[in-house]
Every structure is written in structure tokens, then in C-alpha cells.
Amino acid sequence: MGMGGGNPGGRSTDRDRDFNWQFKSTINPEDLFRKIFGDAGFRSGGFGDFDDFAESKYGFGAAQEVIMNLTFSQAARGVNKDINLNVVDTCPKCKGSRSELGYKATKCHYCNGTGMETISTGPFVMRSTCRQCHGTRVYIKYPCLECEGKGQSVQRKQVTVPVPAGVEDGQTVRMAVGTKEVFITFRVEKSKYFRRDGPDIHTDNEISIAQACLGGALRIEGVYETLNVQIRPGTSSHTLIRLNSKGLKKVNTVGYGDHYVHIKIKSPLSLNQKQRALLQAYAELEDDTPGSINGVTTKKDGTKHCYEPPFDLLQSIREALNEKEQSLIKESAESRETEDPSDKPTEPNNSDDEVEQHKKSMP
């Protein structure tokens, strides 16, 4: 089949004969190569690759990346966190001397400490890296067993990473570890309560119906401390309250972000009889209801009436309110006899306030 037959031995083809003719036919080209460059050529190459491989395998190249998981508050406040890393560092046993304890490296006698050797092959004179010391100029009779005479070794080290306050998810910092640099990327756990927008913090906070209507104060969990939030009377759901500089510490600059409080009005899931009766009485007086209220009917004269239990309790409240209103009208009329009483009882909202004041002034 000619050339396509593929002769594995390859010795008998014309091509090989052409190549080999200037040498003695018994010389293997590989042997010749070895004779010229020595075993060192093979060995050092092989070892070098192995070293690189070992280092890259464990991630000891120019940089190593480490993922560090942080809780939300660790990221917010900053933390000193320990991690265990494989690092290449000076061998702890020989302190980098590469020799076993009690022995010292001596000058390489093969190259007389030059690291180079001269090889003569026939007419050629070649300068080559010393085969004995691989160019290191020293001879180590008893290599350190710990690092196999390399002076450095792979070590499992505990490293404390000072995590700066306010780091974000995915942010990377660079840190020197041993003789190498390590890139540390933070993975920040999401918080069920805090939402983050750069240095700003958002939280949802609930207030009650009474707080929403009458106003008040709220204590909420902040990033670094408990915060006081003032609720203005008539606060609606989704009201956004900004707490200046109560957000996260800014990482690359001074100052803090803001904490935004998203107000949610929480309706009670169940009402006791008194609460129900009071709300029903209020419902009868509410004048800006968008649509209808369960159990409350608007009469022809525009007044509202609730036909739901607790009937007795509701009726008592209605009577109490009417009684107050009557006594108020009476009192006002008496105290303002000299004034014009005509504009007095037309404002029922005002009368409520005055009932309150009237009550306080009573002994």
C-alpha cells in the first residue's frame, strides 16, 4: 500500500534513511539529544512543569480567588473573619534554606558555584545550566523533607480578613497572604427585613390603625441601632419616611446612606366586642368612605346606620355620643350667652374636640 500503509517502525523508509545518513546508524536521535543537553534538560523541564501544575492545581497562581459568605449584619457592620487558605509560603521547617535541619547548602562543585557548565561535544562547546544544581549554584546534600528542598511549601493557613463595614454582595477586595495576593469576593446573605440599595436601607414597618389616625412614635430595628420614627397624625399606608444618615456606612467614601421606612398600616385580624362597637360607631360618622362598609347603610337623609352586632354596645356608644353632644350644646349656650350662639353647633367635628377639653376641665 505504499506510504499510506503506515509503517510504525519507520526505520525502513527512504525518508528516515535520508535523515540518518550523516550519523552512525546505531545512534538514536533521542540519545543524542540527551548526550548534548544532559538529563538536566529533561529533568528540570519535567520538574518545572510539575511545580507549576501543583501550584495551579491548588490555585496558587498569581492570584487566588476566595468566596467569603457574610450575613447581612456582618456586611453592614464589618467583621474580622477567619478563613482557611492554601497558600505558598516559606517552608516552616527549613525557613527557606531548602536543607534538612542541621545541614547547610554548599557551593555546587559541579559548576563551581556558577550555575552553568560547559559541555564539549566534538567540535561544539556549549554553555548550559548546571545539571547538578539546576542553576541554583548550591548543592543540597540533604534536602528538607517537608518542602522537598524547594524552600516553599503549600500550607493551610488561617487568615483573618478585616471585612470593611458596608461591603456589597459581589464586591472583591485584594489582600496579601503569604507571598501571594488573594482576591476575596463577598457573598452577602439577603436579609428578610432589610433591603439594600447601595448605602441606603429600606424596611417595611407596620403601624396600627390608631397610630395611623392619631399619630405617635415607633421604635424600629436599624442597621446599627434601634431607631425612633415619628408617625404624624393621618399617616397613610406606603408613606415613606426618610431617616437621614441611618443607612449603611459608605465603603469608599465618608458618611452613611439613609434608612427609608415604608409604613404599612396593619389592620387588626380580629376585634373584640368593644373595639367592634367603637369602629361601627366610627363607621357611622365617617364621611369620606370610598364605597361601602359591611353592615353600614346610608339612610335617605345621608346619615349612616350600622345594623350589625353588638347592637347593645353600639347603641350605648351612640347614646353616649348624643348625650355629650347635647350637654355640649347646652353648656356652650350657657357659657356664651352674651355672644352670638348662632354659629355654634353647626360644626360637629369641632364639638368633639370641645367635648374632650370640657371633660378635662371638669374636676
Interface residue list for Zn ion (CB under 5 A): 91, 93-94, 108, 110-111, 130, 132-133, 144, 146-147
Looking at the Cβ atoms of 94 and 229, the one nearer to Zn ion is 94
Distances (CA, A) of 110 to 114, 132, 204: 9, 6, 78
CA 208 to chain centre: 33
In whole angstroms, the minimum distance from the beta carbon of 181 to Zn ion comes to 23
In whole angstroms, the minimum distance from the beta carbon of 144 to Zn ion comes to 3
CA 270 to chain centre: 39
The residue ranges of DSSP E strands in 209-299, in sequence order, are: 216-221, 226-231, 240-243, 259-266, 296-298
Please tell me the number of Cα atoms within 13 Å of 110 on its side-chain side.
Answer: 18
Looking at the Cβ atoms of 129 and 211, the one nearer to Zn ion is 129
Looking at the Cβ atoms of 134 and 195, the one nearer to Zn ion is 134
3-class SS string, 147-184: CCCCCEEEEEEEEEEEECCCCCCCCEEEEEECCEEEEE
Q: With contact defined as beta carbons under 8 Å apart, do 329 and 335 qualify? A: no
In whole angstroms, the minimum distance from the beta carbon of 137 to Zn ion comes to 6
Q: With contact defined as beta carbons under 8 Å apart, do 156 and 58 qualify? A: no
Looking at the Cβ atoms of 42 and 193, the one nearer to Zn ion is 42
What burial class does residue 156 get, using C-beta atoms within 10 Å of its C-beta: 0-12 exposed, 13-18 middle, 19+ buried? exposed
Looking at the Cβ atoms of 111 and 317, the one nearer to Zn ion is 111
In whole angstroms, the minimum distance from the beta carbon of 182 to Zn ion comes to 22
Looking at the Cβ atoms of 93 and 324, the one nearer to Zn ion is 93
Q: Which helix (H) or strand (E) holds 63?
A: strand 63-70
Distances (CA, A) of 177 to 51, 59, 146: 19, 13, 20
Looking at the Cβ atoms of 114 and 208, the one nearer to Zn ion is 114
In whole angstroms, the minimum distance from the beta carbon of 108 to Zn ion comes to 3
Beta bridge partners of 343: none
In whole angstroms, the minimum distance from the beta carbon of 135 to Zn ion comes to 7
348 preceded by a cis bond (ω within 30 of 0): no
Looking at the Cβ atoms of 141 and 336, the one nearer to Zn ion is 141
Beta bridge partners of 263: 205
- Give the DSSP letter of residue 250: P
In whole angstroms, the minimum distance from the beta carbon of 123 to Zn ion comes to 25
In whole angstroms, the minimum distance from the beta carbon of 102 to Zn ion comes to 13
* Dihedral sign for Cα atoms in the order 204, 209, 213, 215: negative
The C-alpha angle with vertex 36 and arms to 129 and 116, in degrees rounded to 5, equals 15
- Give the DSSP letter of residue 89: E
**Helix (H/G/I), strand (E/B), else coil: 351:** helix
In whole angstroms, the minimum distance from the beta carbon of 155 to Zn ion comes to 11
Looking at the Cβ atoms of 77 and 137, the one nearer to Zn ion is 137
Looking at the Cβ atoms of 115 and 310, the one nearer to Zn ion is 115
In whole angstroms, the minimum distance from the beta carbon of 195 to Zn ion comes to 52
